[in-house]
Amino acid sequence: MSSLKLSRRGFVAAASAATAALPVLGRSAFAAETVDVIVVGGGLSGLHAALTLQELGLRAIVLEAGAQAGGRVKTVTTAEGAIDVGASQIGRSYARVIKACDTFGLKLVPEDRDLLGFGAHFMDSWIDPKTWADNPLNQCVGEERAIPPMLMGQAVVAKYNPLHELEDWLDPRFGTYDISLRQLMEQKGYSAAAIKLASYSAPGIGIDETSLLRMWQEDTRTALDKKLGGPATQEEHRDHPFGEANNRQQVNGLARISNIEGGCQKLPLAMAAKLGDRLRLNKAVARIEMSDTGASVTCSDGSAYKARFVVSAIPFSMLRGVEIVAAPKPAARQAIARMPYANTARMYVTVEKPFWLEDGLPPSFSTDGPMGMFWAIDNHKGTGAHRAMIVMVGNVAQAIAQRPGAGVEQFLLDELARLRPASKGLVRIATYKDWLRDPLQRGCGFSLAPGQVNAFARTMVEPWQVMHFAGEHTRRLDFGMESAFESGERAALEIYGRA
Amino acid sequence: MKMSWILASALVAATPGMAWAGEAPAGNAAVGQKLFIQCRACHTVDGTAAHTIGPNLNGVVGARAGARKGYAYSQAMAASGLVWNAKTLDRFLTRPSTAVPGTKMAFAGIAAPKARADMIAYLATLRR
């Protein structure tokens, strides 16, 4: 079976090489379905691109490698109910997502994920953030001493953000900031102790791995979301540093953070239903061959499609596995090959009764160890079963993805029990998700290494012959699910402008 | 009767195929209506529709910027002193954050002059 596939693809490649001077269209030895636009990838950006193209009068099909649409929007059915293991948070400024939910009759409900009070387990000790400034373990200097240890990274990132407008992160005026958080902290004279603490809470992949401009893009966009909430009338909870208590004050009928009732994957599934047979599942694209007038796309099962345009709506972590035969475009090749991906891994659990009442330690906590954070979620009663998560981001998430798969869940339970013996026997696993290990994603979100904003981030979204780029990694102004919609819309309109 | 420059440009912009002051391509309102796909998540156009994330755009051409009742504009927009005509809209739609720094309109802009002209032509048709 696999040898047949190989020989077929080999034959196509040989045929292509022999006739390289001819236009792409009409070249394949196999009958290929011909459409206006082939969208590669059935996540939010690809689905939105296809639906928009269709509305603009162009015939588009979507080739999705998986058995289901949705990409990094994924709702898992567990014994504990439906759990969103991917994107789920919808802010008040997520205009296109909100509009799509309205169109498809999906109900937005205030997110019910307020975290119970936070502490920290650093340097083998339990640390109370309130008395950290006077803690003998605190080796920071001067003003740094007052910053809670688990907030150092994000506190420094926020403090020095010079960006005002949403597109400033791409403005060459700020190109000198295409450096790491460590470099910034060294420039600003932070102590070695503060830099070490920041390495546990740096946004993105890590203190050395991610450009400050990428961090500030999120930071600046977050500020806009807050602005749309109008003047804050509800006091923010200072002891909820990671996903603070939701602000349920209704602005335009929405809390600060909403979820889709019944699970967020309902949105891509509704979009998929609207596309009908124009969405092709289990179609992993293996090869894209382009000229200036058309493209031929071949899937790993040997099926072939032809179109005037292609939208790449898969992450570069996946596109780098697709053979692209096209005119030279070094910046695109470099971006596709080298863009790093961040990871998020989470273990979703139910705590049968609140062990924090028994051991007297803070319910939620950050660590400087391999389990990252433990988030205890308010059940609004205080007693009985609580939902909770072990949350790994940054380098902790990169590391957990390298552990042998079978033992990860037990390892995390054991690590929790080591730090919190009172949790033993009370924690039930609902599900576990590691996005770097997902063979169709290879990460939870794009990153840019120091130097890569200047090297290719500004131009990497420009069309490559007839291929246009969508996906959250091609965002310009937005973030989260909204950035997927932003990019799909952009790609569709770019093509409409050329068609 | 003296026709204001603003109204005149609005009328010109609304007329497909007519060159506008020799400096911008003529707009096609029908194409502009299609391009409005990228605006509609935030802006309603029907005269009776409510503001959503952005203000309702009925009657925008000829109107003073930041002046629609019932919409909470950014301070920058409210204080811009702009009047929306073909010229100011063209500049704003090129890159909103450059034309009105501090605007809360999260929109990258429309690069192609013809597409902006089409959009403005469509906006000029939005009359109660």
DSSP assignment letter at A32: -
- Helices within A301-382 (DSSP H only): 316-319, 330-338, 355-359
3-state SS assignment for residue A19: coil
Chain B contact present for A55, CB below 8 A: yes
Beta strands A60-63 and A279-280 are parallel
Task: Look up the CATH number of the domain holding residue B60.
Answer: 1.10.760.10
Which pLDDT does position A154 carry in this prediction? 93
**Separation CA A104–CA A85 (nearest Å):** 22
pLDDT at A356 over 90: yes
Range of the domain at B119: 5-125
**Closest Cβ–Cβ partner in B74, B102, B112 for A497:** B112
Torsion of CA A271, A274, A275, A276, to 10 degrees: 120
What mean pLDDT is predicted for residues A418-439?
A: 98
pLDDT at A20 over 70: no
**Closest Cβ–Cβ partner in A56, A92, A165 for B34:** A56
What mean pLDDT is predicted for residues A343-363?
A: 97
- Which helix (H) or strand (E) segment holds residue A154: the answer is helix A152-159
Per the CB < 8 Å rule, is B108 touching A477? yes
What mean pLDDT is predicted for residues A474-493?
A: 98
Which pLDDT does position A404 carry in this prediction? 83
Q: Please report the DSSP string for A165-204 in residue order.
A: STTGGG-GGGGGG-S-HHHHHHHTT--HHHHHHHHHH-SS
pLDDT at A237 over 80: no
What mean pLDDT is predicted for residues A65-87?
A: 97
Q: Which residue of chain B is at minimal alpha-carbon distance from A485?
A: B38
In chain B, positions 78-97, which contact chain A (CB-CB < 8 Å)? 95, 97
DSSP assignment letter at A74: -
Q: Please give the model's pTM, rounded to 2 decimal places.
A: 0.90
What mean pLDDT is predicted for residues B35-47?
A: 96
Which positions in chain B touch A228 (Cβ < 8 Å)? 53, 104
Let me know if A67 is exposed, middle or buried by CB neighbors in 10 A (0-12, 13-18, 19+). exposed
- pLDDT confidence tier of residue A220, bands split at 50, 70 and 90: very high
Per the CB < 8 Å rule, is B38 touching A95? no
Total tally of structural domains belonging to chain B: 1
Chain B contact present for A233, CB below 8 A: no
Q: Please report the DSSP string for A256-283 in residue order.
A: SEEEETT-TTHHHHHHHHHHGGGEESS-
DSSP assignment letter at B20: B
Contacts of A117 (CB under 8 A, 6+ apart): A239, A240, A362, A363, A364
Phi, psi dihedrals of residue A478, rounded to the nearest 5°: -100, 180
- Which helix (H) or strand (E) segment holds residue B86: the answer is helix B86-94
Per the CB < 8 Å rule, is A95 touching B42? yes
**Separation CA A287–CA A330 (nearest Å):** 18
- pLDDT confidence tier of residue A368, bands split at 50, 70 and 90: very high
pLDDT at A246 over 90: no
DSSP assignment letter at A436: G
Task: Go through A278-310 and write b for each residue having 16 or more CB atoms within 10 A of its CB, e for each that does not.
Answer: bbbeebbbbbbbbbeebbbbbbbeebbbbbbbb
pLDDT per residue as tens digits for the range B69-83:
999 999 999 999 999
Q: Are A331 and A459 in contact (CB under 8 A)?
A: yes
pLDDT at A28 over 50: no
Which pLDDT does position A227 carry in this prediction? 78
Contacts of B55 (CB under 8 A, 6+ apart): B43, B68, B71, B73
**Separation CA A341–CA A321 (nearest Å):** 14
What mean pLDDT is predicted for residues A211-232?
A: 85
Which pLDDT does position B12 carry in this prediction? 41
pLDDT at B21 over 60: no
**What value of ipTM does the predicted structure carry?**
0.85
Per the CB < 8 Å rule, is B53 touching A95? yes
Which positions in chain A touch B106 (Cβ < 8 Å)? 93, 95, 166, 221, 224, 477-478
pLDDT at A236 over 80: no
- pLDDT confidence tier of residue A400, bands split at 50, 70 and 90: very high
pLDDT at A3 over 70: no
Per the CB < 8 Å rule, is B108 touching A167? yes
Q: Are A75 and A266 in contact (CB under 8 A)?
A: yes
Q: Please report the DSSP string for A441-453 in residue order.
A: TSSSEE---TTHI
